[in-house]
């Protein structure tokens, strides 16, 4: 069975060696010491997931993620960085990352996150069920919103969150229930991540006056379609 392909960008040679050595039995991992060489490889090859450090020479991880996301809105991106400030995590998610791991972390935790995203990224050859949202046809398996003007491709997290809202339309949803369903946890950082992704969905659906993602203070959210 062909191994999943990982693009890994990390300028610390010691950390890069340890992670590559730990993952190469499970995955086909290509390691790059700066953002520029990682981006060049991304343009040449097909990868299934990206692991990006932030502080790198020539092109930092944030810039690299923006370039990757501009070409491919679906591929999962996980930041792995020593930058633990809340602002850095939120910035990473706003750029389009799907997750953010702070160093040091366990290899087991990293592999778990990789596997979660790889499983969710699998496409089927069966025509997926679509859902009508205002003027859009939403395809949750291919992460797309389509209307007469074209197709918007969501990130994996955005698609999962929108699908969860659709399945629970017109229902009051507690924050902790959403977090456990989508992120598998409900800690403080995951809560901030939820706010970022909801903001991103609101921008995508901004032209749909009849679709509302209502913030219920102290409780959670309600997705409704008038």
Residue 30 has pLDDT above 80, yes or no: yes
Average pLDDT, the chain: 87
Neighbours of 201 (CB within 10 A): 20
Domains of the chain: 5-121 (3.40.50.2300), 131-225 (1.10.10.10)
Q: What is the mean pLDDT of residues 43-69?
A: 94
What is the pTM for the complete model shown? Answer: 0.63
* Percent of the chain topping pLDDT 70: 93
- pLDDT at residue 28 in the model: 94
Quickly state the pLDDT bin for 186 (edges 50, 70, 90).
low
Does pLDDT of 187 surpass 70? no
What pLDDT band is residue 126 in, cutting at 50, 70 and 90?
A: very low
Does position 183 have pLDDT exceeding 90, yes or no?
A: no
Q: 3-class secondary structure for 65-116?
A: HHHHHHHCCCCCEEEEECCCCHHHHHHHHHHCCCEEEECCCCHHHHHHHHHH
């Amino acid at each position: 069975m062909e191994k999943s392909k990982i693009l890994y960008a990390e300028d610390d040679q010691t950390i890069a060696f340890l992670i590559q050595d730990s993952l190469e039995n499970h995955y086909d991992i290509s390691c790059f010491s700066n953002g520029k060489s990682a981006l060049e490889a991304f343009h040449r090859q097909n990868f299934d997931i990206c692991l990006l450090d932030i502080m790198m020479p020539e092109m930092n991880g944030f810039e690299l993620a923006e370039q990757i996301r501009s070409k491919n809105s679906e591929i999962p991106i996980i930041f792995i960085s020593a930058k633990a400030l809340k602002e850095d995590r939120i910035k990473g998610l706003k750029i389009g990352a799907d997750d953010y791991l702070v160093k040091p972390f366990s290899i087991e935790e990293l592999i778990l996150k990789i596997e979660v995203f790889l499983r969710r990224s699998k496409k089927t050859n069966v025509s997926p069920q679509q859902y009508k949202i205002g003027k859009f046809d939403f395809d949750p398996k291919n992460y797309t919103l389509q209307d007469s003007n074209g197709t918007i491709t969501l990130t994996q997290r955005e698609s999962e969150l929108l699908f969860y809202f659709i399945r629970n339309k017109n229902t009051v949803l507690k924050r902790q229930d959403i977090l456990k369903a989508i992120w598998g946890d409900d800690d403080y950082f995951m809560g901030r991540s939820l706010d970022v992704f909801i903001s991103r969905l609101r921008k995508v659906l901004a032209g749909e006056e009849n679709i509302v993602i209502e913030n219920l203070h102290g409780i959670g959210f309600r997705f409704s379609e008038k």
